[in-house]
Structure 1
């Protein structure tokens, strides 16, 4: 039988990681000795990378806090768009330039983020260790559908994507990180994440089909992979989708 007992309460989207019976309510937690509070949070099912603030008995604490008998613990998610100083944050200040690394299961989301101008690294052969290393070394937020990936000790910025449909996913990310005012559409290559800029038609003439040469005059090219873009028949559809995403910001 456990010697000690604490009470935990998780807030907002952290409840997504809990069984239905434990959501949005106090959870009794029996334990021996004095485990680190980080280990206790993960034992309850919540990845530490999703947590930004821990309040124990009314005081903010760090991940190294040793759990005590009778502690009342409140756990809050990342506050990417809020300033919660002078409370003790559990990671560096929110990333001012938001950059992502996306795991192998979210390829369509990666392309949509690039389309909207967000610096997004993605390959369909990334190993979990690579994703973590890129996140740590380049200060990128991990986006994943794999909760286990976010439990890696080295991860400081990560987010578990709740939605399954790519169009719902992009809305989720724009809302979660308050990104709609940072959208710069068509600024990045959807294929490789390189920056896209205007290119003279004569320079890319050899890469174009005869009808494209005949009907279009303004072209853009990725500085990294060389892919050429222009406002073809698909452009109006993409513009409509973009306007829909921006309209959601007013709701």
Structure 2
């Protein structure tokens, strides 16, 4: 016998819904007794984005059964450093946060590393690899693939609304409260290795001619030995970060 429940998604969870269903109660038909997690993900909302569920006015967990004729309200997770109290289903991320990104987010990965965040990214990663790395390393999954976030073993994850890396970085900084955790020039943008300051003489043979002339402070990755200096990309990032001060 087919049953029907009424579901209402609050706030940013409407980003996962078709335009004509945003901000409205919607009827969800089902058979048997599916878990709330499964029902909500069937509608299109991945569990890492959900901070709280109320079924018939009472707090409910992901594994509780969806009841016949139930009224279900679903609330989003909130910013780690925001003024709102996290919902009972929201698990605080480890400090400092670490990340693993899907294959479409190479530029975002580079700039998270520039800001000092341990960020795994390889174009060879498939969904199973990303989920496994997230579970093993207690990492946050950042993705544009909603289906990836529905994998059961992923505890922390965020679906990036924008397709532009600067706006994506803004989203991540706000969602995870990163402003006070920045450590620029401590991670290699290319390989995620740790970098440290080195003398100019040590890396002189590796520098372009104009860089030798105009720059005097250098950093080198301990893993891939790439050399860095505070050039135009650093200036752009400083201007970007000034928006959050």
**Please, what TM-score do these two structures have when normalized by structure 2?**
0.90
Q: How do 1:155-166 and structure 2 match up within 5 A?
A: 155-166=154-165
Contact 1:103 1:126 in 2 (8 A): yes
Matched, 1:96 2:95: yes
3-state SS of 1:243 partner: helix
What's the CA shift for 1:216?
Answer: 3.2
Contact 2:79 2:174 in 1 (8 A): no
3-state SS of 2:32 partner: coil
Matched, 1:144 2:121: no
Alpha-carbon distance in structure 2 between the residues aligned to 1:215 and 1:72? 65
What's the CA shift for 1:211?
Answer: 4.5
Contact 2:96 2:181 in 1 (8 A): no
Alpha-carbon distance in structure 2 between the residues aligned to 1:144 and 1:245? 22
Contact 1:80 1:94 in 2 (8 A): no
Uncovered stretches (5+) of structure 1, i.e. residues with no partner? none
3-state SS of 1:221 partner: strand
Specify the alignment match of 1:52 in structure 2. 51
Alpha-carbon distance in structure 2 between the residues aligned to 1:97 and 1:78? 19
Contact 1:143 1:161 in 2 (8 A): yes
3-state SS of 2:23 partner: coil
**Please, what TM-score do these two structures have when normalized by structure 1?**
0.88
Q: How do 1:63-102 and structure 2 match up within 5 A?
A: 63-81=62-80, 84=85, 88-89=88-89, 92-102=91-101
3-state SS of 2:69 partner: coil
Specify the alignment match of 1:230 in structure 2. 229
Q: Which shifted more, 157-166 or 178-187?
A: 178-187
Q: How do 1:9-48 and structure 2 match up within 5 A?
A: 9-48=8-47
Contact 1:171 1:245 in 2 (8 A): no
What's the CA shift for 1:43?
Answer: 1.4
What's the CA shift for 1:80?
Answer: 4.4
Uncovered stretches (5+) of structure 2, i.e. residues with no partner? none
